[in-house]
A and B are shown apart, each in its own frame.
Chain A
């Protein structure tokens, strides 16, 4: 049955063609970066594969939740109620502090801090490449996600959005080799840049002079200087300081605060005053936009009359 002489185009030609095409793609994507819209479309096309890949885990989680005993549920519920009370207490204090802070800032005639909006996103894929630390989450342009958006978890800074599809977004973690984040030491106020090295449990603090005041255990907060991350979120804790005089700079490493190796739920952050705003109910938003445009159309028609 197998046709013997079906191959009409030689293999070598096919390979040459494929390599040329790939070369052009690399050039277009890397040097000119005109592929962002294409990537968005392709991301949306392959997103079923990503959803399929997370399905077994999700089913397992749902099942294990179903078979949990009544006793465990009650225990967890009371635990959550307690936590909630705690949080509410803290929140009251927080509100008071925010108001006080605002008043003080007004007294000093400096700008008030911006509020931020948050949305919970779930991780649906983790990269299997060890040299690129990225995860994919289940929120995209339909939810108002934009490129360069800061991403946190319940502990600290996780990374930033590097590309978006309609219902998915790719997040570059702070541990990726191509990622760096400006930070400030909480104790001494020293500004340092923290860069990823491709290890989820270690970051490198760049260009620290030997006379540094940094100490092991110092908390590094985002400084807000890069314009990407909002100010004051915990990033990392200084793990070791090696003052080797023969090197140009002191070798300082830090441990990220967020649990980068087991992230599951993430927080996407929007600045309250920025152009981009979260869309919590995409279906309704589309419907509203649609009805708005149609009513505008009707109005314009009436004006024409």
Chain B
């Protein structure tokens, strides 16, 4: 009984943070600032991959990628593939990453966001002849910068709701 209840709150909580991440990713901002917008949804994904590896895995990454594809109007499957690929190392080595210091984690997240962006861009370039602008990689830096704060916040939320 107890376990079932907590599994439903778990799901609800995880879903809520994902929706919030997507909302933050879409929120209208002035263009100068928007170029620096961190990839919130991917950071949320990385956190849950580490916190609940038995519940959030590559399937979740895939679905999140599809949602991003729909919301951004990109060709279906581009972000889905990229998210699944960068989710793999995190899902595989979550125990090791959990023991990283926050700074090490931030560097890793920055690297993974850069990898995801490179993958998505490569496919986009092949399909639609997109050209690379340097501003495309600015969010890598901002994502790495917000990671420690996001990590602490999500951990606080998780502990508050007594999710193990």
The residues of A with any CB-CB pair to B shorter than 8 Å are 1-3, 6-7, 11, 14-15, 18-19, 21-26, 28-30, 35, 38-39, 42-43, 45-46, 49-50, 52-54, 56-57, 123-132, 134, 136, 162-163, 170, 177-178, 197-198, 200, 261-262
Query: Could you give 20 example pairs across A and B, Cβ below 8 Å?
Result: A11-B58, A11-B91, A18-B58, A18-B62, A19-B81, A22-B80, A29-B75, A29-B77, A42-B66, A53-B22, A126-B31, A127-B72, A130-B136, A131-B136, A132-B124, A162-B73, A177-B128, A177-B131, A198-B130, A200-B31
B92 at the interface (CB under 8 A from A): yes
List the B residue with the shortest CB-CB distance to A20.
B81
B26 contacts A125, CB within 8 Å? Answer: yes
B128-153 to A contact mask, C-beta < 8 Å, 1/0: 11111101100000000000000000
List the A residue with the shortest CB-CB distance to B65.
A22
A134 contacts B73, CB within 8 Å? Answer: yes
Q: In the complex, what residues of A have CB within 8 A of residue B104's CB?
A: none
Residue from the list A15, A49, A132 in contact with B19, Cβ < 8 A: A49
Q: In the complex, what residues of B have CB within 8 A of residue A134's CB?
A: 72-73
The distance in angstroms between the C-alpha atoms of A26 and B119, with both chains bound, is 14
A129 contacts B72, CB within 8 Å? Answer: yes
With both chains docked as a complex, state the minimum distance between the C-beta of B55 and any C-beta of chain A, in angstroms. Answer: 9
List the A residue with the shortest CB-CB distance to B120.
A129
List the B residue with the shortest CB-CB distance to A170.
B73
A29 contacts B76, CB within 8 Å? Answer: yes
Residue from the list A42, A52, A131, A261 in contact with B133, Cβ < 8 A: A131
The distance in angstroms between the C-alpha atoms of A24 and B19, with both chains bound, is 26
B81 contacts A18, CB within 8 Å? Answer: yes
A49 contacts B124, CB within 8 Å? Answer: no
The interface size of chain B toward A, counting residues with CB under 8 Å, comes to 54
Tell me which residues from 35 to 74 in chain B have a Cβ below 8 Å from any Cβ of chain A.
Answer: 35, 37, 53-54, 57-59, 61-62, 65-67, 70-74
Q: In the complex, what residues of B have CB within 8 A of residue A200's CB?
A: 31
Interface of B is mostly: helix
Q: In the complex, what residues of A have CB within 8 A of residue B19's CB?
A: 49, 52
Assuming the contacts A19-B84, A39-B70, A50-B71, asked whether A131 and B131 have C-beta atoms less than 8 A apart, the reply is: yes
List the A residue with the shortest CB-CB distance to B52.
A2
The distance in angstroms between the C-alpha atoms of A132 and B121, with both chains bound, is 11
A53 contacts B65, CB within 8 Å? Answer: no
Assuming the contacts A19-B84, A22-B62, A22-B80, asked whether A163 and B73 have C-beta atoms less than 8 A apart, the reply is: yes
Which 5 pairs from chain A and chain B are nearest by CB? A25-B77, A22-B81, A18-B84, A22-B77, A26-B77
The distance in angstroms between the C-alpha atoms of A200 and B73, with both chains bound, is 18
B115 at the interface (CB under 8 A from A): no
The distance in angstroms between the C-alpha atoms of A41 and B26, with both chains bound, is 19
Q: A21-B77, A54-B27, A178-B128 are in contact. List 12 more A-B contacts (CB 8 A).
A: A6-B54, A7-B54, A14-B59, A23-B77, A25-B77, A35-B76, A46-B71, A52-B23, A126-B31, A129-B74, A131-B121, A170-B73
Assuming the contacts A15-B84, A21-B62, asked whether A128 and B128 have C-beta atoms less than 8 A apart, the reply is: no
A18 contacts B54, CB within 8 Å? Answer: no
Q: In the complex, what residues of A have CB within 8 A of residue B74's CB?
A: 129, 132
Assuming the contacts A49-B71, A53-B28, asked whether A130 and B77 have C-beta atoms less than 8 A apart, the reply is: no
B154 at the interface (CB under 8 A from A): no
The distance in angstroms between the C-alpha atoms of A163 and B92, with both chains bound, is 38
Assuming the contacts A18-B80, A125-B28, A128-B37, asked whether A11 and B130 have C-beta atoms less than 8 A apart, the reply is: no
